[in-house]
Amino acid sequence: MTSSHFLYTIFKPENFSKEELQLVIDQFQEVVFSKNEYLIEKGKTANYYYFLESGFLRSYTLDLQGNDITTKFFICNDIVIDWHSYFLKTACKESIQALTKGKCWKINFSDFMKLFHIEAFREVGRTRLVNNYFELKNHSVSIIGDHAKERYLNLLKEKPALVQNVPLKHIATYLGITDTSLSRIRKEITL
């Protein structure tokens, strides 16, 4: 898939003038990443905003006991970003790591801001930010109010490819359960 084709699917050409769309696409750079590579590291400032074309990534942090806890998964077409760090230039509180090899398209902050005068570009960003917020809010409420099996079934429904491509230990921490509990839930579902 060429950059033009992938980015055209993200930015929907019918919402931009031809010149605007070309200006937007020209600001992005291709990034090919390997499994376990970091796009964003805890303690550093996030300098790029990414659109994920292929592969799987996760954000994670360490709890007070030093356990690695997955806080979000990223799949094709997702924005990969630490919103707070990118826009406020603060240190990241999480790392974003590749779980598979893949490809994404990045834009730095100054180029991003150059495009902000384009209404359709602002709308894409606003919509993505709002959707990201709703996903985070739904996950937070689900951790508190849903049984582990429900959380797993919802993840299967919303992002089925994750289960086939992501280590189960990361899925378990994302769901707020142990590996053993996740194995039991998976066994119940297949019976």
Instruction: Quickly list DSSP for 53-102.
Output: EES-EEEEEE-TT--EEEEEEE-TT-EE--HHHHHH--B-SSEEEESS-E
| 177 DSSP assignment | S
- Per-residue model confidence as pLDDT tens digits over 135-149: 989 999 999 999 999
3-state class (DSSP) for residue 150: helix
Helix (H) or strand (E) holding 105: strand 102-108
Question: What are the structural domains, with CATH classification, of the chain?
Answer: 3-117 (2.60.120.10)
User: What pTM does this model have?
Assistant: 0.90
pLDDT of 1 reads: 43
Per-residue confidence (pLDDT) for residue 125, from 0 to 100 = 86
Burial class (CB in 10 A: 0-12, 13-18, 19+), 49: buried
- In this prediction, residue 5 carries a pLDDT of 85
| Of 143, 146, 148, the residue nearest 184 (C-alpha) | 148
Rounded (to 5) percent helix, strand, coil in the chain: 50, 25, 25
Residues of the chain short of pLDDT 50, as ranges, are: 1
Which one, of 157, 151, 191, 187, lies nearest residue 171 by Cα? Answer: 151
